[in-house]
Amino acid sequence: MSADHGTAGGGFTAVVLAAGKGTRMRSDRPKVLHALANRSMLGHVLAAVQEAGAARLAVVVEPGRADVADEVARMAPGASTHPQAERLGTAHAVLAARDALEGEGARERADVLVAFGDTPLITAETYARLRAPLRAGAAVAVLAFEAADPTGYGRVLTENGRVVAIREEKDASEAERAVRLSNAGLMALSGTHALSLLGRIGNDNANREYYLTDAVALAVADGLSVAVVNVSEDEALGVNDRVQLSVAEATIQARLRRAAQLGGATLVAPETVFLSADTVIGRDVTVEPHCVFGPGVVVGDGCVIRAFSHLHDARLMEGADIGPHVRLRGGAVLEAGVHLGNFVEVKNATLRAGAKASHLTYLGDAEVGAGANIGAGTITCNYDGVSKHRTVIGAGAFIGSNSALVAPVTIGDGALVGAGSVITRSVPAEALALARGRQTTREGAARVLRETLKAAKASKDGKRG
Ligand code: UD1
Ligand code: MG
The torsion angle over the Cα atoms of residues 316, 317, 321 and 326, rounded to 10 degrees, is -10
- C-alpha distance from residue 175 to each of 81, 161, 167, 179 (Å): 40, 17, 11, 7
Q: What residues does 416 pair with on adjacent strands? A: 398, 432
11-21 residue pLDDT tens: 799 999 999 88
| d(C-alpha 426, C-alpha 394), whole Å | 11
Q: Is the pLDDT of residue 229 over 50?
A: yes
Q: Is the pLDDT of residue 6 over 70?
A: no
Least confident of 29-43, 83-97, 99-113, 411-425: 99-113
Instruction: State the ligand closest to the CA atom of 231.
Output: 1
pTM, two decimals, is 0.93
Map out the domains of the chain with their CATH numbers.
12-230 (3.90.550.10), 242-433 (2.160.10.10)
Estimate the crossing angle of helix 66-75 against helix 41-51, to 10 degrees: 40
Positions at the binding site: 17-20, 31, 84, 89-90, 118, 154, 168, 183, 240, 329, 347, 362, 373, 376, 382-383, 401, 419, 436
Instruction: State the ligand closest to the CA atom of 115.
Output: 1
Instruction: State the ligand closest to the CA atom of 150.
Output: 1
* 100-108: average pLDDT: 70
Residue 105: per-residue pLDDT: 60
pLDDT confidence bin for 272, thresholds 50/70/90: very high
User: Annotated catalytic, 359?
Assistant: yes
Residue 7: per-residue pLDDT: 38
Rg (CA), the chain: 31
- C-alpha distance from residue 120 to each of 49, 229, 322 (Å): 11, 18, 33
Cβ atoms of 182 and 228 within 8 Å: the answer is no
| d(C-alpha 1, C-alpha 276), whole Å | 18
Mean pLDDT, the chain, whole residue set:
95
The secondary structure of residue 269, as a DSSP letter, is S
Atom of ligand 1 nearest to the CA of 166: 11
Q: Mark 200-239 as b/e (b = at least 16 C-beta within 10 Å).
A: ebeeebeeebbbbbbbbbbbbeeebbbbbbebeeebbbbb
pLDDT confidence bin for 102, thresholds 50/70/90: confident
Nearest to 317 by CA among 371, 361, 262, 280: 280
* 22-40: average pLDDT: 96
Residue 174: per-residue pLDDT: 97
pLDDT confidence bin for 465, thresholds 50/70/90: confident
* 18-25: average pLDDT: 90
Atom of ligand 1 nearest to the CA of 154: 11
Residues 6+ apart with CB under 8 A from 107: 191
Cβ atoms of 265 and 279 within 8 Å: the answer is no
Which protein residue has the closest C-alpha to ligand 1 atom 22?
Answer: 19
Give me the percent of the chain exceeding a pLDDT of 90: 94
Q: Please give all residues whose CB falls under 5 A of ion ligand 2, grouped by chain where several chains appear.
A: 238
| d(C-alpha 246, C-alpha 36), whole Å | 8
370-421 residue pLDDT tens: 999 999 999 999 999 999 999 999 999 999 999 999 999 999 999 999 999 9
| d(C-alpha 118, C-alpha 20), whole Å | 9
Which protein residue has the closest C-alpha to ligand 1 atom 8?
Answer: 211
Residue 205 CA to ligand 1 centre (angstroms)? 15
* 313-331: average pLDDT: 98
Give me the percent of the chain exceeding a pLDDT of 70: 96
H-assigned helices in 302-404: none
| d(C-alpha 260, C-alpha 256), whole Å | 6
| d(C-alpha 34, C-alpha 22), whole Å | 10
| d(C-alpha 222, C-alpha 460), whole Å | 106
Q: Is the pLDDT of residue 427 over 70?
A: yes
Atom of ligand 1 nearest to the CA of 182: 12
| d(C-alpha 138, C-alpha 19), whole Å | 28
- C-alpha distance from residue 323 to each of 79, 275, 279, 296, 299 (Å): 42, 17, 18, 19, 14
Q: DSSP string spanning 294-324?
A: -TT-EE-TT-EE-TT-EE-SEEE-TT-EE-S
How many Cβ atoms from other residues are within 10 Å of residue 306's Cβ?
21
Nearest to 201 by CA among 185, 221, 184: 221
Residue 314: per-residue pLDDT: 98
The torsion angle over the Cα atoms of residues 126, 129, 130 and 131, rounded to 10 degrees, is 130
3-state secondary structure (DSSP) of residue 433: strand
Residue 56: per-residue pLDDT: 93
Q: Which residues line ligand 1 (CB under 6 A)?
A: 17, 19-20, 60, 84, 87-90, 92-93, 116-118, 153-154, 166, 168, 182-185, 211-213, 238
For ligand 1, mutation pick of 42, 116, 142, 241 (most atoms within 8 Å of CB): 116
pLDDT confidence bin for 87, thresholds 50/70/90: very high
* 199-217: average pLDDT: 97
pLDDT confidence bin for 104, thresholds 50/70/90: low
Atom of ligand 1 nearest to the CA of 238: 14
332-372 residue pLDDT tens: 999 999 999 999 999 999 999 999 999 999 999 999 999 99
